[in-house]
Structure 1
Amino acid sequence: MNRTTRTAVAALLILAATAALLFLMGRPPICTCGKIGLWVAQANSSRTSQMLSDWYSLSHVVHGFLFFAILWLAFRKWPLERRFLVALAIEAAWEVVENTPMVINRYREETAALGYTGDSVINSMSDIAMMVLGFSLARRLSVRWSIAIVLALELIPLFVIRDNLTLNVWMLLAPNDAIKAWQSGGSASALFSAFAH
């Protein structure tokens, strides 16, 4: 069995184990509405994190770019396949942790995801696929293009849904009332004045 085949088998095992664990944790396989949709355009919809993709899928593409960069910087002597499997395992582990009651409640209390109830299994698998997409793009693109894409994937949702990976992590780790108010529809001037004082 060559390295590529071993990597593919290991990746499939990680995905299968993640899906099985999420199911055993009580996550629904698909949206409880009984439908499978390609895209949910509303960030605060009850179907966000239930379908194949939504605005938060973009943050998982960013994960892929970041994992590629960090693993390349820290372990550049490792073969690409090993770095890929580490990135895949980290993303899979995050999907499991993200769907624990503690993290779900944290999202509901401190971030813009006020009605968040966790992901469906199909959404989690799609999020992992988005990370793989980002990792693959980072491998093929120049540093300049990678940075440009990451900035676009952060700025577009920031303006459209008032959220992105940066704010998501910030609000999980160090909640800020001014940011939360702005994400809930407050004015940008109130946000800036809150930081000025």
Structure 2
Amino acid sequence: MERLLPHHRAWLASIVVALIAVAVLFAMGRPPICTCGTIELWHGQVQSAGNSQHIADWYAPSHFTHGLIMAGIAWLLWQRWRLFGGAPQRWAMPIAVLVESLWEISENTPTVIDRYREATAAFGYSGDSIVNSAADIGWMVLGFLVAVRLPWWASVALGLGLELLALWAIRDNLTLNVIMLAYPVDAIRDWQASGGAL
């Protein structure tokens, strides 16, 4: 999978895509930092106004896992299946950054924010700060870079470990987020509401 490591032009493209995403979030009126006026390296309180506002929180592992998943998809498309003759493999990371950036933008639209409030454990969710969205893109890039250096089974084990850690700590993770956004299950929502972050 090391063939997926980006060359300098791919790194530049990744940075440009991330900066465009930040500019779009500014244009959408997202707050640059937490409205509390501070930037924290870690904010571990999920049911709080500071959740999704700082550099890292209990949802950072989900974005890291996005990177693991996107590296795996890129490997399947370009290494295993030889899609496009395998030629654009070094451009996989900017494509992953584009996908993650599009998610960060859509995640902060009123429609998706309302969906999170209605269907998931993100009670009172008001969207991300720009610092948090930019950090989430960074966590995805880190996950991608780790995945291209690890054997596939180690990436899978790491992703599962992060999912179980978040499940244990906050009763939420990437898997439950996807389930609850796509098809909310009352039993899961009730179980999540009955517990909180450690």
TM-score by length of 1: 0.90
Does structure 1 conserve the Cα–Cα contact (< 8 Å) formed by 2:63 and 2:137? Answer: yes
Aligned-partner residue type, residue 71 of structure 1: A
Aligned with 1:175 (options 181, 184, 197)? 184
Unaligned runs of at least 5 residues, structure 2:
1-5, 80-85
Q: How does 1:29-178 map to 2 (within 5 A)?
A: 29-76=32-79, 77-178=86-187
Give the aligned residue type for 1:96.
I
Residue 31 of structure 2: aligned partner: 28
Q: How much identity, in percent, do the aligned residues show?
A: 50
Cα deviation 1:112-163 (Å, max 9, x = unaligned): 0011100000100000000001100100011221111001110011011000
Q: Distance in 1 between matches of 2:64 and 2:8?
A: 24
Counterparts of 2:9 and 2:166, CA distance in 1 = 37
Q: SS at the partner of 2:33? A: coil
Distance apart, 1:110 and its partner CA: 0.4
Amino acid corresponding to residue 75 of structure 1 in structure 2: W
Q: Deviation at 1:81?
A: 2.3
C-alpha displacement of 1:44: 1.3
* Deviates further, 51-60 or 79-88: 79-88
Post-superposition shift, 1:74? Answer: 1.7
* Partner in structure 2 of residue 4 of structure 1: 7
Q: CA deviation at 1:9?
A: 2.1
Name structure 1 gaps, 5 residues minimum: 187-197
Residue 43 of structure 1 and its aligned partner are, at CA, apart by: 1.5
What one-letter code is carried by the residue in structure 2 that aligns with 1:84? Answer: M
Conservation of the 8 A alpha-carbon contact between 2:60 and 2:139: yes
Structure 1 counterpart SS, 2:29: coil
The alignment covers a number of residue pairs equal to: 184
Structure 1 SS opposite 2:7: helix
Kept in 1: contact 2:166–2:172 (CA 8 A) = yes
Distance 1:33 1:79, change over 3 A: same
